[in-house]
């Protein structure tokens, strides 16, 4: 694990410090978009693990968070974001705006998590 990563309480690697800004808003406060480079995306397709399924079934019976799946989804989200930002950087972007997430079932027990947004170049306010 590199120093720009953190572990959540579930043990998932999260909280990356990315080299470009990623926001869900269509603009970045105090900055202006100087160039729109296009849509960028990253995805992660993950399958459930039989060991996690057994543990999750027992936890579902007694109630509570299914931490095995929370960890799986958190790692998928981070991987999709990493792939999206790598694509944005290859286009010369320094930010991704209007970022969204979509999940879908590929087949039984297999899910895709997709992150997408608009790669842009931004600059701070004139002084």
Structural domain count of the chain: 1
Residue 11: strand pairing partners: none
SS3 content of the chain, % helix, strand, coil (to 5): 30, 40, 30
Q: What is the pTM of this model?
A: 0.76
- How would you classify residue 31: left for phi > 0, otherwise alpha for psi between -120 and 50, otherwise beta? beta
Does 24 fall in a domain? yes
Q: Does residue 98 lie within any of the structural domains?
A: yes
pLDDT at 6: 56
Helices and strands per DSSP (H, E), number in the chain: 2, 6
Residues of the chain with pLDDT > 90: what percent? 50
Q: Kindly state whether residue 25 falls inside one of the protein's structural domains.
A: yes
Structure token pair of residue 21 = 């800004």
Q: What is the rounded end-to-end Cα distance, in angstroms, of the chain?
A: 39
Q: Range of 110's domain?
A: 19-123
Q: Kindly state the average pLDDT of the residues 110-124.
A: 93
Lowest mean pLDDT segment, chosen from 2-6, 69-73, 86-90: 2-6
Residue 13 lies in a domain: no
Q: What is the CATH number of the domain that holds 108?
A: 3.30.110.70
The rounded mean pLDDT for the chain is: 81
């Amino acid at each position: 694990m590199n120093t720009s990563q953190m572990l959540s309480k579930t043990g998932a690697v999260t909280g990356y410090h990315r080299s470009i800004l990623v926001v869900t808003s269509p603009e970045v406060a105090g900055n202006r978009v100087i160039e729109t480079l296009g849509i960028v995306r990253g995805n992660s397709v993950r399958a459930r693990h039989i060991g996690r399924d057994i543990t999750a079934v027992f936890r579902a019976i007694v109630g509570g968070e299914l931490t095995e799946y929370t960890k799986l989804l958190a790692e998928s989200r981070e991987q999709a974001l990493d792939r999206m930002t790598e694509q944005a950087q290859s286009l010369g972007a320094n930010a991704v705006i209007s970022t969204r997430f979509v999940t879908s079932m590929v087949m039984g027990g297999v899910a895709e998590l997709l992150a997408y947004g608009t790669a842009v170049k931004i600059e701070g306010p004139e002084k």
